Amino acid sequence: MTRPELPIGVFDSGVGGLTVLHECLISLPAEDFLYLGDSGHFPYGTKSAEELRERSAQVAGELLGRGVKMLVIACNSATAAAGDEIRELGAEAGVPVVTVVGPEAEIAASISGSGKVGVLATPATVESGAYRRALDSLGRPLTVTEVAAPDLAPIIQQGPTFDEEVLDTVRGYCQPLREAGIDTLILGCTHYPLVAPMLQRMLGRDVSLVTAGHAIAAAIQRELAASGGLAEGRIEGDYRFLVTGDVDSFVEVGTRFLQLPLAGRAEGIEI
């Protein structure tokens, strides 16, 4: 039995998971959220699978130890490397775990007209083969083009500068996707929705961009409703942040991205 009064724990390597939290705050306004931004160990996307498993277990353990009713891995790199381990940790604690990757794969496979699907993700996520497996399991023949974008999450994490150099970098990542003639692109890193307009311009209006936010919020809603764990009886819950890196810059960049105040809600922690 899930305890409705506890917060939902969410984590990412930094500010990227705020794109998921953003949808959750809109779709599930009555819930409390506790978001852990592991910016002290950013980036995750260039870490080895072993490093990611260790780090993700540490971060998940911190949230479970603080008492959360659900754990949301709002990071593709962590999900790809450590999704199974975190699900096990959650099961031991009696806490359901919701992750990215699967939901976006399902959406992409169902909306792509041509079956030509692109995945733009961190090197860790691409190397794990997680999206390929998820897309292959859906029983639809798809032509999948994966592009690893080592520089994109770091550009976004520092508060995107949007200069010519950034445009050139992003253009370089879009090139193989254009050549492959995709009609659907999975933004396989939770940081990337923050540069969606740039990607859309480079890929063309007709390419559908798939992000995790909506699907994750819906999965949380379903899971909590089934276990009687939905917060009820109020309009707005609370949202708080734990940050392993520089709190001020997380608050500054995060406030811009979330378009809600973070000041006074973020606490620096060492784990």
Paired tokens of 221? 């809603």
- Residue 13 engages ligand DGL in binding (rule: CB under 6 A): yes
Q: Choose, from 20, 28, 68, 75, the residue flagged as catalytic.
A: 75
Give 239 or 257: the residue with its C-beta nearer to ligand DGL: 257
Contacts of residue 143, Cβ cutoff 8 Å, sequence gap at least 6: 115, 116, 117, 180
Q: Which of 189, 207, 216, 247 binds ligand DGL (CB under 6 A)?
A: 189
- Residue 112 engages ligand DGL in binding (rule: CB under 6 A): no
- Residue 77 engages ligand DGL in binding (rule: CB under 6 A): yes
Dihedral angle over CA of 226, 231, 235, 240, nearest 10? -120
Q: Is 189 a catalytic residue?
A: yes
Segment near ligand DGL (CB under 6 A); pick from 10-18, 193-201, 203-211, 255-263: 10-18
CA 198 to chain centre: 19
Beta strand segments in the chain, E: 8-12, 33-37, 70-73, 97-99, 116-121, 143-148, 184-188, 208-210, 239-243, 266-268
Strands laid side by side in the 239-243 sheet = 97-99, 70-73, 8-12, 33-37, 239-243, 266-268
- Residue 125 engages ligand DGL in binding (rule: CB under 6 A): yes
Contacts of residue 216, Cβ cutoff 8 Å, sequence gap at least 6: 20, 23, 24, 72, 74, 98, 100, 103
Q: Choose, from 59, 78, 89, 189, the residue flagged as catalytic.
A: 189
Segment near ligand DGL (CB under 6 A); pick from 3-11, 85-93, 185-193, 226-234: 185-193
Paired tokens of 129? 């083969």
- Residue 122 engages ligand DGL in binding (rule: CB under 6 A): yes
Q: What CA–CA distance (Å, rounded) separates 247 from 15?
A: 11
Q: Under rule CB under 6 A, which residues in 130-159 are in contact with ligand DGL? A: 153
| Residue found by looking up tokens 């999704």 in the block | 83
Give 44 or 239: the residue with its C-beta nearer to ligand DGL: 44
Instruction: Report, in Å, the least distance between residue 35 CB and ligand DGL.
Output: 13
Instruction: Report, in Å, the least distance between residue 265 CB and ligand DGL.
Output: 20
Q: Is 75 a catalytic residue?
A: yes
Residues that bind ligand DGL (CB under 6 A): 12-13, 16, 42-45, 75-77, 122, 125, 153, 189-191
| Catalytic positions, written as ranges | 75, 189
